Structures are given as structure tokens and as C-alpha cells.
Chains A and B, each alone.
Chain A
Amino acid sequence: MRGFVRNRVVRRVASTVGTLFGVAVLVFVMLRAIPGDQITAGLGTEAAGLTPAQLQALERYYGLDQPLVTQFFTWLGNLFTGNLGYSARNQQSVLELTLHSLPVTVELAVLSIVLALLIGVPLGTLAASRAGSPRDAAGQIVSLAGLSIPSFLLATTLLSVLSASFGFNPNGRAFATPAEDPLLNLQQMILPALVLGFGIAAPILRTTRAAVLEVRSEDFVRTARAKGVPERRLQVRHVLGNALVPIVTMTGLQFGYLLGGAVVVEQIFSVPGIGRQVLLGIQQKEYAVVQSTVLVIALAFVLVNLLTDALYRIVDPRVRAS
């Protein structure tokens, strides 16, 4: 039995490593597909002034004269030593940039998830409490709105209305980390987190509703009710407690999506997160930044999914047993 478990863990880890290698290959190949090569793309119009000899020297300097396979493994080897490349634009290494931007995105993602859970779980439970009733219909409308209103539309509208009508525009000021100015940081985070949270609340609401409906029809709920368990305790402890498994999975999944999916909202609210780092890299044609940052995000995404999986095993004893 233990050997079997260990074997499964080993297999899972092996498959994750394989996936990450595939991710590295894809990111590498993708960046090679850029029209024009990296040097001329980075220099823009100045590239026209280069002599062939200068171009060759630059290629040798960046290792671009090496075979592709060599370039790939050099890049991969550098990553393992923490060398993610250098951003000439920012005069900073990509590692430094990432160490600043990743925590920002994680904070934003956590806040968004908290807001989404605060909206989605109660509304989903309420909707399920009387399926087909007006309150169920209201829940459906909220989730439809969350799924259908693009985050950039909501963000743009909120930002312009609040700043023009109420003069509330904390995102117009320089970004503050929680350590520098916790109050300003919270003000700057609240709108983006609301926009993202509203979008994520929809799948969480739907999952909660479906899970609660399913659990409620189980025999143990009927038994508990027959036993005389008070209704409130029954709903919270017996029903919601057992409906948690799919909710946890959905939450983990959405958290992972936010690591890269927050890019539009980060851009609109000038939140210097990791999504924005990718976008700036693309706009400034700093492909080394894009390449390494995308890889970091994919790595974080895979890890979050692994953790969700582990958490799901903890929440649901049945999965552990089988």
C-alpha cells in the first residue's frame, strides 16, 4: 500500500517535471517565432544602422550564433542558477523584477479570491436552498453577469466613473506596497480585486449551487434531519461541509488563472504585477523578460494546481482512502 502511494507521488512529480520541460520548450520556440530576430526587434529603428560585422558581433555576444539546442539548454541552465535574464529598459535583472511583481499579483489574487468566495458561496447556497425560486433566478443572473461582463469593461467603467464623479483614484498615485503604506495599498487594490472577484464569483457560485444541491439529496442529510439536527447547523456543517470539495477545487483553479489572467486588470489600474510585467515586456520588445516571466507564471500555475490537488485530498477523506 505504501509503496503504491509512493509510486503515485513519484509518478505525479515525474509528470509535472515533464510538463514543465514541455512548457520551457514551448516558451523557447514561441519566442523564436517572432518575426525578425531578437536583436533587431530590441533595437527597433536603430537596427537599420548596424553593419553586418556589428550584427554578427552582437549575435555572438548573445549566443545567437549557437545551434538552437545549445541555446535552449544554455537558457535552461541559466534559469536553474537564478539567471532569468536582464531588462535593459529597467536596468534590473528579470529576477529582481519578478521578486517585486509576483508578490503584488499574489496579493491581488488572494484579495480577489476572498471577495469572490464572500459573494459566491453565500449566494450559491441561497440559490440552492430553493431551486427554481426567485432567489435561485437572482443567483443565476448574478453568475451570468459575472461570466459575461468583460473585466476590462467593468474596470474601465468603474475607474472613470469613480475618478470623475467622486475624485476617487488611488491608482493614479505611485504604487505602494503593504509595507510602505498599508492603507494606500489597500485602496489601490480594492477596485481591481472587486473587478476580478466579481468575475470569479460566477463559477464559484455555480459550483456551490450544484454541490449543495447534490449533497442535500444524500441519505446522511436526511438522517441528520430525522435525528433532529437544527436546520442552520445542518446546512452549514452537514451540507456546506460536504460541498466544500468541489468549491476548493474551483477556487484553486481560479487562483491559478489569476496569476496570468489578471493582466488586463493590472494594466488598467496600473498595478505593477507579474501580468503587467509580461505585457510591458511585449510592448517594449524585451523578449528575454517575456520568456522568463511567462515561464515563472507557468511554474507558479502548475504548483498552485498541485497544491489544490493536495488540498482536495485533505478536504475529502474518500479520495485519500481510494
Chain B
Amino acid sequence: MTALARRSPAGVAGVVVLVLLAVVAVLSYLGLLPYDPVAQHPASRFLGPSGAHLFGTDQFGRDVFSRVAAGVGNSALIAVVAVAFATVVGTLGGLVAGFYRGFADGAIGGVTNVLFAFPPLLLALSLASVLARDWFTVAVAIAIVYVPIFIRVTRGPVLSLREIEYVKAAVATGQSRFQIMVRHVLPNIASIVVIQVALSLSWAVLTEASLSFLGLGTPPPAPSLGSMIFEARSLVFVAPWTLIAPGAVVVLLVVGLNLLGDGLRDTLDPRNRGRH
């Protein structure tokens, strides 16, 4: 963190944005929002932003701030679960493929090639459309898309680590392969994985938002940033806040993650060390 602060002020800005949004997300999980995000109040439709309704109300009189907050919580949950799954499975796959070579490498490489043969959004879309629709299956669909990316970014470095003296020495001292992977290889690819996690989170948020915009994400009336933007598209001139609020927040969320990812890359990637 201090290294990040020294090397990348933009990265710190990303962290600040994300912390703010995380607070909002946590408030929504704890049910501490000013209004129920799905409760309809026909009497207070299309109210402009005010003290009572920070971001105004929508066509059903629902509080836009509460809905955006719950949407952030929802997006964050799906993105984190999806990327966590992809990180664990993908890193493990990359480790095994790069370290054991042979059949395991061939098999994992084959699966990776097949998953890479689809444009990412199309794969997520097709998967989300055939799975039952709830937040978890959306997360699974996104996770499957990102598994091969983690396999690919970890396999290469593992291959070269295999040939490095201290790993060879560890082999010579008779440590088990599992021990070597955990003790000597994994710590050395950790920074690559961390950078990839930050960047993948931003893609995952965008993908989730795109899916819910298309009506293939979290089913309504649960608030999701993508579906809020979809509903607001015809209300731009009646109630611009219904579009601006979720739009600005989704951009902020992705910007925060991208800044953090770039900052981490500048800080952690060995190729960038000593450049600044």
C-alpha cells in the first residue's frame, strides 16, 4: 500500500473511489439504506434530487439513491464471486499446466483454446441465457469466461520459473512438487495474479452491467446498474437523474478498478521496477 502510494497517485485515487463505493455496498447489505430499493410509491414518482431523495425517484416512485446503492452491492457481489472463482481455478490450472507439463498441460491448453475461441461477451451471454437466472449463475457465467485468462497469464511465468536455479535446487533437495509449487512458485506469480484480479474485476463489472442491460442479468425487480440504465433510456428528458445516477456510478466503479489495476501494475510488475 505504501509502495502504491509512492509510485502511483492514480492508484491511490482508485482505492479511495473503491472504498467509498464499498461503504455504500456494505450499507446496502446491512439494510441501512434510506429507502427500500424495490418498494414502489406511486405518489412520489419522478421527484427530482432533493434532501429527502438524494438522486430523486424513478417512474415507480422508488428512491434512486437506494437503488443505485443496492445495484453497486449487487454488481460488486457478482464481480467478486466471479473473479474469485476464476482466480482460484485459473491460477491452479496455470500452475499445474506450467509445472507438470505433459498431458496436464495439453488438456488444460485445449480447454483454454476452446474457451478463448468465443468473443468474451458472447460466451457470457450464451452461458447466462442457458443457466437459471439468479445472481449466482450470472457470476458463474462470467467466471467461466475469465478462467482461461488466469490460466494464460500464470502458465508462462510458471514455465520459466521451473528452469530457475532455486526451483531446480528445491527439486534436487527432494521436496515434493506440491511443496515446491506452494513455497517457491506461487509467491513468485502472486503479483501477476493480483494485477490480473484488479483488471478482471473491472471487466466483470462491465460484463455484468451489459448482461443486465440486455435483460440476461440479475432478474428484476432486484436493482442492477445495467437494468436501471436500460429502464432509464426513455426517461432521459423526463427524469435525467434516473440515467445519470446509475451511469455515473457504474463509470466510477470501473474507473476505480482500472486505476487500481494500473497502479498495481506499475508498482508490482517486475518489468516496471526501477523505471520511475
Contact = CB atoms under 8 A, between A and B. Distances in A.
B118 interface: yes
Contacts, number: 124
A80 to B, nearest CB: 18
Interface in B208-237: 209-210, 213-216, 226, 229-230, 233-234, 236-237
A261 B121 CA distance: 5
Nearest to A285: B129
A195 B110 CA distance: 34
Per DSSP, chain B at the interface is helix
Interface in B106-157: 110-111, 113-115, 117-123, 125-127, 129-132
B119 A164 contact: no
A204 to B, nearest CB: 16
B243 A260 contact: no
A317 to B, nearest CB: 24
Contacts of A259: 119
A35 interface: yes
A215 B99 CA distance: 33
A133 interface: no
B236 A264 contact: no
B49 interface: no
B266 to A, nearest CB: 12
A278 B259 contact: no
Residue of A20, A22, A26 with most partner-chain B CB within 10 A: A26
B151 to A, nearest CB: 15
Nearest to A279: B214
Interface residues on A, range: 35 or more
Contacts of B110: 18-19, 22
Contact of B250 (A26, A27, A150, A263): A150
A148 B251 contact: yes
A147 B202 contact: yes
B255 A157 contact: no
B135 to A, nearest CB: 17
A150 B129 contact: no
A278 B214 contact: no
A69 interface: no
Interface of B: 110-111, 113-115, 117-123, 125-127, 129-132, 202, 206, 209-210, 213-216, 226, 229-230, 233-234, 236-237, 243, 247, 250-251, 254-255, 258-259
8 contacts: A19-B110, A19-B117, A23-B118, A148-B254, A159-B233, A164-B237, A257-B121, A294-B118
